[in-house]
Chain A
Amino acid sequence: MSNRECAIKVKGVSKVFGRGVSAFYALNNVTLDIFDNEFFTLLGPSGCGKTTLLRLIAGFDAQTEGDVLLRGKDISHLPPNLRSVNTVFQNYALFPHLTVAENIAFGLEMLNQPKAKITATVEEMLALVHLTQFKHRRTNELSGGQQQRVALARALAPKPEVLLLDESLSALDYKLRKEMQIELKRLQSATGITFIFVTHDQEEALTMSDRIAVLSNGVLQQVGSPHEIYNRPANQFVASFVGDSNVMNLSEFDVNKNGEDIVMQYNGGKSFQVNAGEAEGEGEGEFCVTDALLIVRPEKAFLTVGMGDSVLKGEIHDISFLGTDTHFRINLSTGKNPPKVFVVRTQNVDYGGCLFSVGDHVGIDFHPQAAQFMRERAS
């Protein structure tokens, strides 16, 4: 991966709003490499700084510290109109006084391209987003999904080096959003342009991205492929923001070292072994029981009937049927009040009704490899 060419390099960028005591770090020393021809997603809750980073790359705001490089060239001090970077805005920002075709032609006209070339590119873009029959319409006569596609075509028409998409799908309804996710992916591979997509929707990020950067409070938490982000979250924030997680404190377990392995047991249940090296994780240092967490994804755990031999035991407190899945909320039998809740998700693969009902005593099992360990407080 590292020998791929960088489309955008973000080097130690910070953005501070306000001064002195009231200074607020919207971005804190963020360093990122975004590769050429990549679908890259900035993921995080609202206020995490992802839109701020996007605006810095676009050139609408200036960073307080650090540099932004486009193909190795420092663009930190260039205004937006001199950066070969286009933006698809959250509210589309289509020009209401222009038609669909005129909107798409806008950037090309501003670049003073010859008329014939503009016409050809506009036709090509209209075809690409399936809007050829709407080219003479005003943008306010279009549906949300169509407006979205005009915004995309307008930003793609000048063939920028990088396309920025700011929460571009959040205004669409569920069905349309699903369609557009596939559409965006298709456009990205058809045009070969680097996409930087900003979203707070983890599912969207996992579906579309080649790589994801997770941000929280202006600090970069983890960068990696959707697979890495989901299966090997770097810290508790990533684990709980991307997907659901059952977080358990390791101090609740009986932990014993057995050579290279660590043997764990919870409240008299079945013991399980994990490799100590694995448990330590990458560069996490000494394995320390007191401040470490064990995280199990709900879909990686399964229920067993009765109180037989299982890692955890409990009583089903709540069952929610979600069509494809069923979520079980189980109160672990620890005798504590309030009880510790563990969530198990099962796919509804069978035809009959649910095997379990509220109040049943069940066991919970998971493969030792499903357990992920991390420190309680990430850097």
Chain B
Amino acid sequence: MNKPEVNTTRAHESVLEASIEKAKTRRNIFLSTPALIVLVLAASGPLFIMLFYSFLTPGDYGGVVWKGSIEAWFKVFMRRDIFEGTLLPADAHLSIFWRSVKLSGLTTILCLIFGFPTAYFIATRPKRQRNIWLFIVTVPFWTNLLIRTFAIMELIRNNGTINKSLQALGIIDEPIQMMYTDMAIAIGMTYVYLPLMILPLYASIERLDFNLLEAAYDLYATRMRVLRKVIIPLVKPGLVAGSILVFVPSLGAYVTPRVLGGGMHLMLGNLIELQFGQGKNWPLGAALSITLLAIVMGAMMLYVRSVNQRANNND
């Protein structure tokens, strides 16, 4: 008598469990909808549209004509000589690529040079003070990017603050040309992206066990070697994160090079904008955007690989 009863209860239980499991799954899908919308529609969707557009023909007044073409991709890398019709590399585009990579690299290095001591300073303050310093670091973020860029312009233009002060002090006679140079763009981008370097670096340094520095110092390391052999290896995650956070947006920067480079020193962001605006060549703009994406991904993969290799060598 007892046995069948037990069996039926078990059967009931397993059916019940199965339905609970199903309900859980349903609920999970329902709850994860916002995440899925973001991932599929907002993140990867537009990218596929861009990729698709890059293989279409440009319309006369912007937009695209629904006709397949690889002309845009061809134009990214090559150009046809107007008179002889021979194929030449698209040196204008390539020089802009190179300038973008060069200036972003320079910006990253400048951010490291200024960001590391700042982050170290904040992380070594008493706990209560740290939040105040972090707050000060993030304040510029609340100001419009354009205004911040114009502020830099006010500082470095020919009759701006720096030149006028130097002239007043009699150090220089003629104003130093700082505006509309690559250096101006690098300085502007460093100013804009510095917090993105400081914050992850601060997070790493704050977690650093300062006993380790004392231990290294005790074991005959000079201050320079404590930095090289202990601090830098231990805060590397922060260094990597900060460098990526600065390098990637610098590569696609638009406002800063436009204002401080004065249209003379284009970067990739400006080139892309040009295609969608005045150039009225959407497929080329789309192809350039995808190229930018590829450069960023390539750079990041190289970086991650070199970091992993070094980690493996250590083992």
Contact = CB atoms under 8 A, between A and B. Distances in A.
B61 interface: no
Nearest 10 interchain pairs by C-beta: A107-B219, A93-B215, A110-B220, A93-B211, A110-B221, A97-B233, A80-B218, A81-B220, A80-B217, A87-B218
B234 A87 contact: no
Interface of A: 58-60, 79-82, 85-87, 89, 91, 93-99, 106-107, 110-111, 136, 154-155, 158
B247 to A, nearest CB: 24
A81 B314 contact: no
A60 B219 contact: no
22 contacts: A58-B218, A80-B218, A81-B217, A81-B221, A85-B218, A87-B215, A89-B215, A91-B209, A91-B211, A93-B211, A93-B212, A95-B216, A96-B234, A97-B314, A99-B314, A99-B315, A107-B220, A110-B219, A110-B220, A111-B220, A136-B315, A155-B219
Given A81-B221, A89-B211, A96-B234, 17 more contacts: A59-B218, A81-B217, A81-B218, A81-B220, A82-B220, A85-B218, A87-B215, A91-B209, A93-B212, A93-B215, A95-B230, A96-B212, A97-B233, A97-B314, A106-B219, A110-B225, A155-B219
A91 B229 CA distance: 20
Contact of A80 (B211, B214, B314): B214
B181 interface: no
B134 to A, nearest CB: 25
Nearest to A86: B218
Nearest to B219: A107
Contacts of A111: 220
A158 B230 CA distance: 18
Nearest to A91: B211
B129 interface: no
Contact of A95 (B214, B215, B225, B315): B215
Contacts of B211: 89, 91, 93
B34 to A, nearest CB: 38
B222 interface: yes
Nearest to A84: B220
Contacts of A59: 218
A150 to B, nearest CB: 12
A161 to B, nearest CB: 13
Residues of B contacting A: mostly = helix
A297 B209 CA distance: 44
For chain B, which range describes its interface: under 10, 10 to 19, 20 to 34, or 35 or more residues? 10 to 19
Contact of B209 (A79, A93, A110, A158): A93
A94 to B, nearest CB: 8
Contacts of A98: 314
A81 B224 CA distance: 12
A211 B221 CA distance: 32
Interface of B: 209, 211-212, 214-222, 225, 229-230, 233-234, 314-315
Nearest to B311: A97
Among B219, B234, B315: residue with most chain A CB under 10 A: B219
A86 B219 contact: yes
A136 B217 CA distance: 24
B219 A154 contact: yes
A96 B215 CA distance: 12
Contacts of A110: 216, 219-222, 225, 229
Contacts of B233: 97
Contacts of B217: 60, 79-81
A283 B265 CA distance: 89
A226 to B, nearest CB: 28
Nearest to A106: B219
A82 B216 CA distance: 12
B220 A158 contact: yes
Contacts of B221: 81, 106, 110
A64 B314 CA distance: 43
A350 B212 CA distance: 52
A69 B201 CA distance: 40
Contact of B214 (A60, A154, A158): A60
Contacts of B229: 106, 110
A178 B114 CA distance: 51
Contacts of A91: 209, 211
A89 B220 CA distance: 15
A141 B214 CA distance: 23
Contacts of A94: 215
Contact of B219 (A96, A99, A158): A158
B214 A93 contact: yes
Contacts of A93: 209, 211-212, 214-215
A111 B314 CA distance: 21
B216 A106 contact: yes
Contacts of B234: 96-97
Contacts of A89: 211, 214-215
Among A81, A85, A96, A136: residue with most chain B CB under 10 A: A81
Contacts of A80: 214, 217-218
A155 B219 CA distance: 7
A85 B314 CA distance: 28
B222 A81 contact: yes
B135 to A, nearest CB: 29
A111 B220 CA distance: 6
A147 to B, nearest CB: 13
Among A87, A89, A93, A155: residue with most chain B CB under 10 A: A93
Contacts of B216: 95, 106, 110
Nearest to B232: A97
Contacts of A95: 212, 215-216, 230
A60 to B, nearest CB: 6
Contacts of A79: 217
A96 B220 CA distance: 18
A158 B215 CA distance: 13
B240 to A, nearest CB: 14
Nearest to A85: B218
A60 B221 CA distance: 13
